[in-house]
Chain A
Amino acid sequence: MARRRTHTHVHLPTAALALALTATACGAVAGDGPVADPLVVWIMEGTNPDETAYFDAANSAFTERTGVEVEVEFVPWSDAQNKISTAIAGDTVPDVVELGTTFIPEFADSGALYDLSTHIDDPYLYTQSMLRMGQIDDRIYGVPWYAAIRSIVYRSDLFEEHGQEVPQDWAELRETAVALSEAEEDMTAFPVPGDAQYSVMPWIWGGGGELAAQRPDGTWVSDIDSEGGRAGMSFFTGLALEDGVSTTGAVNWNEIDVMEALAEERAVMAISGSATPKAILESNPDLEGRLGAFPIPGREGGYTDSFAGGSLLSVFAGTGQEETAWEYVAHLTGDEFSIRWSEETGFFPGRAAAVRTFAESENPLVRPFAVQLEAASRGTPVTPAWGRVEAAKVIVAMQQDVLNGDATVEEATEHAADEVERILNGD
C-alpha cells in the first residue's frame, strides 16, 4: 500500500523528466554535433528496386574509409518537396539530400544548400545539362548522380507480327500507331497521357517551341503558343482526339499509369523512362524479349528532344558536417557506386564519359535511351521559379484541357504560355 502511494507521487516529475530527455534527444539528431555523429542522408524512394542492398554496400565502404556512420532515410518523391521545406523550417535538415533536377534551382536559390564549387576539380566531368540545374553563377549546389531520359518503349513482338517498322518521323509514328490501333483492337496503341508533363514537353520542343527563354533584359518569354509549339501540341493531342490511338481514361494517367498499361499488356507503345523496361519486366516477366525502345523520332526525321531529368546530390549548409557530407557525395557519384546504381536502376550515370559507354551498348533496352540522352535531350528552363510552374501543373492543365475538349490547342497553349510567363517573371 505505502509503496503504491509514493509511486504516484514521484511519477509525474519523473515522467516529465523522461519526456524532456526524449525531446532533447530528438533535437540532437539534426543539430550541430561533433563529426562522430552519423551522417543523415535522404534518398528518394523507389528508384532502385534493391536500394537497401545498394546502400548497405555503399555505406559500409564509406564507414570503413572514413569512420563515419551513415543513416539513409528513404523519402517518397511525392512528399519530397514538402518534407524538405518543412525540414528547413523546423531546422531538422539532413546532411545530404537527393534533389530532382526540376526542383534543385529553387532550393539552391533559397540559400539552404552548401556551395560545392571549391570541392569539384573538373565540372566538365559531369553531364553539363544536369550540372547547370544546380548552378547559380559559378557556385555549384549539386553533383549530378543519375540522369533519367524518356524515349518510346514498344512491343517488338506486336510490331513484328503486324509488319511495323520503327517510325523515323512524326508522320510515320502516326501511321504506325493507327495501324496498330486497328490491328490490336483490345489494346491502346499509343497512350496520350494527360497527367505526365514530361511526355508533353518533347512535342513542344520537337515542333520548334521553347517552354521559356530569357530575354537579355532578364524577363522570361514562353514560346509554348508559337507556331512550332502549337504544331507539336496539335500532333500529340491529335493522336488521341483525331486518330483515336489513345483511350479516354489516359487523360488522367501519369507516367506510372502508362507504365502499368505496358506491363499489363494494355498498350503497344508509350513514352517511357529508361528505367521503365526493368520495372515492366519485373512485374510481368512474360514480356522478356518482347520489348524494344526507340528514340522519339523528329518531326521531319532525326530525333525529337526529350526531357532529361534525374537527380543531383546536394549538401545542406549549416549542419557542421559539410566536409564529411561532401565526401559522401563524392563517394556515391564516383565511378564504382554511380555505375552500380545505373546498372541496378536503368538510369544513366551523371558523368558524361560513363554515358558514352552505355551508348555503345548492344542491349536494345539501353542503347536507344543512351542515344536519346546524348543526341536529343533537354532540361527545363534553369530558373528557381520553374519548380512553381511544375507544382502548379501548368503543362498538365494545358494537356488535359485539350484532351477533355475544354479548350482548343490555340486557347490552351496561349493560356499556358501566359501562366508560365506570369510565374517566371514573378507577378
Chain B
Amino acid sequence: MGTPVGLSEARRRPERVGRSAVPARARPRRRRRAPLLTGGARRALLPWALLAPALTVIGLLLLFPLGRVVWLSFRDFHLRNLVTGTSESVGLANYAALLGDPYLWRVVLPNTVGFALVAVVATVVLGTLVALLLSTLRPLTRVIVVSCVMVAWAMPAVSGTYVWIWIFDVDDGIVAQSLTSLGLLGPDGYNWFADRLFFYGVVTLNVVHSGFPFVAVTVLAGLMTVPRDLHEAAMIDGAGAWRRFWHVTFPVLRPVFAVVTVLSTIWDFKVFAQIYLMPGGDVGGSEMLNLGVWAYVRSFGHNDFGTGSAVAVLLTLLLLAVTVLYLRALFREDELR
C-alpha cells in the first residue's frame, strides 16, 4: 500500500534538508523559544506531549470504534442503512429486544459465564502449578521447559482450534479411535460436538491450553521476587508446601494473580474463533453460542448491525462489572486507593 515507499522517503529526505538549510537556523531559534514556557508548565505538559502519539492511536483505533458501536446499538441499522448512510434512532429498543429474548438467558449468557468461570479457574490453577514446577528447575532445564510451554502460547487460535477439532474428529479422531479400541465407545461413535457439555469441554481444553503459558510465565516472574527467608522462616515453623504457598507466596503475589485473573477473564469472556470454528459453533439459534459469537451472527449473519452492537455493548458492560468485582475482591479497600 505504498508504505515501504513512504518510509524510505521519510528516511531519505531529512538528510537532504539537513545538509542545506537547517543547521544554520535551527540553533539560534531554539535558544529564543525556550523561555516561552516556564519550568512548571513544561513539566506538566511534557507527559501529555509524550503520550500524545499513543493517545492519538488509541483514540483512533479504539475509542472511536467503541463509541461507534455504542451509537450503533441505539439505532435501527441494516445493510440498506450502510449504503444510504442514514439511520433512525430506536432508543433502547435493541436492548429491550435482547433482554426480553429467552435465548439470551437460556443459552448465551450461561454459556459465556459458565465457560469463562471454568476456563479462568483452570487456566490460573494450571498456570500456577506450572510456574511452581518451573521455579524448582535448574536454569537450563527451565529454559527447555519454558520453550515447550511457549509453543502452546505461540499457536494461533485458528490453527489451534482446527487441531483440537481434528483430535476429536467423530469418525477418525485419535480420541474416538482410542476409546473405540478400548471398547468404551461403540463402532458408531458419538458426536460430542452436538452435546453442549462436551462441546464446551473441547473449547475449554483449547482455551486453557493456549492460555496457561501466559499465567505460568507471569507467575514465575513473580515467584522470583518472593524473599527466600520468608519461606525458610515458614519452614522452620513447620509449614507444609500448601501452607507455605497459601500464607507466604500467595499474599506476596496477589497483584500478579489479580493481573492474570483479570486478563484471563477478559479473554475467556470474549472468546470467539475457538467457538465459531467448531462444528455447530456458527449455527444461529444453536445451544453452543456465546455472547461474542452471537454478536457476530446478529451483525453479519442477520445484517442487523444495531442489535449486534447491542450484544457487544452488553458483553463489554458485563466484563467491566466482573473486572471491578474481581479487583475489589483481590485487593483490600485500602490497597485500591
Contact = CB atoms under 8 A, between A and B. Distances in A.
Interface of A: 2-3, 6-7, 9-11, 14-15, 17-19, 21-22, 25-26, 81-82, 85, 88-89, 106-107, 109-112, 195, 244, 247-249, 251-252, 387-388, 391-394, 396-397, 400, 404, 406, 419, 423
A7 B80 contact: no
A397 B79 contact: no
Contact of B170 (A109, A248, A388): A248
B172 interface: yes
B120 to A, nearest CB: 28
Interface in B245-292: 279-280, 282-286
Contacts of A392: 283-285, 297, 301-302
A248 B188 contact: yes
Interface centre among A11, A109, A249, by most B CB within 10 Å? A249
Interface centre among B172, B283, B297, by most A CB within 10 Å? B283
A112 B297 contact: no
B23 A2 contact: yes
Contact of B194 (A6, A251, A396): A251
A9 B283 contact: no
B144 interface: no
A17 B10 CA distance: 8
A249 B284 CA distance: 21
B22 A10 contact: yes
Contacts of B171: 247-249
A110 B80 CA distance: 4
Interface string B1-17: 11101110110011101
A400 B287 CA distance: 12
Contacts of A419: 285
Nearest to B283: A393
- Kindly state the interface size class of chain B when it binds its partner: 35 or more
A14 B83 contact: no
- Secondary structure type dominating chain A contacts: helix
Nearest to B30: A9
B10 A11 contact: yes
Contacts, number: 138
Contacts of B194: 251, 400, 404, 406
A115 to B, nearest CB: 14
Contact of A6 (B14, B170, B285, B297): B14
B283 A107 contact: no
A21 B297 CA distance: 37
Contacts of B26: 6, 9
Contacts of A107: 79
A244 B186 CA distance: 14
Contacts of A15: 7, 10
B83 A88 contact: yes
A394 B282 CA distance: 11
Contacts of A106: 79, 303
B83 A400 contact: no
B80 A397 contact: no
Contact of B1 (A2, A22, A406, A423): A22
B301 A391 contact: yes
Given A14-B13, A249-B170, A249-B172, A110 B79 contact: yes
Nearest first, the 6 A-B pairs at minimum CB distance are: A392-B284, A391-B301, A249-B170, A249-B171, A252-B279, A404-B194
B83 A111 contact: yes
B300 interface: yes
Given A11-B10, A89-B82, A249-B170, A391 B300 contact: yes
B71 interface: no
B84 interface: yes
B285 A388 contact: no
B283 A396 contact: yes
A248 B189 contact: yes
Interface string B179-216: 00000000011110110000000000000000000000
A7 B15 contact: yes
Contact of A393 (B7, B13, B189, B284): B284
A7 B15 CA distance: 6
13 contacts: A9-B14, A14-B14, A18-B10, A25-B1, A107-B79, A111-B80, A195-B279, A391-B297, A392-B301, A392-B302, A394-B285, A404-B191, A423-B302
Contacts of A109: 79-80
B156 interface: no
A9 B29 CA distance: 13
Nearest to B169: A249
A9 B21 CA distance: 13
Contact of A85 (B6, B13, B169, B300): B300
B284 A397 contact: yes
Interface centre among B5, B169, B300, B303, by most A CB within 10 Å? B303
A393 B189 CA distance: 25
Nearest to B176: A249
Nearest to A392: B284
Interface string B283-322: 1111000000000010011110000000000000000000
A277 B7 CA distance: 49
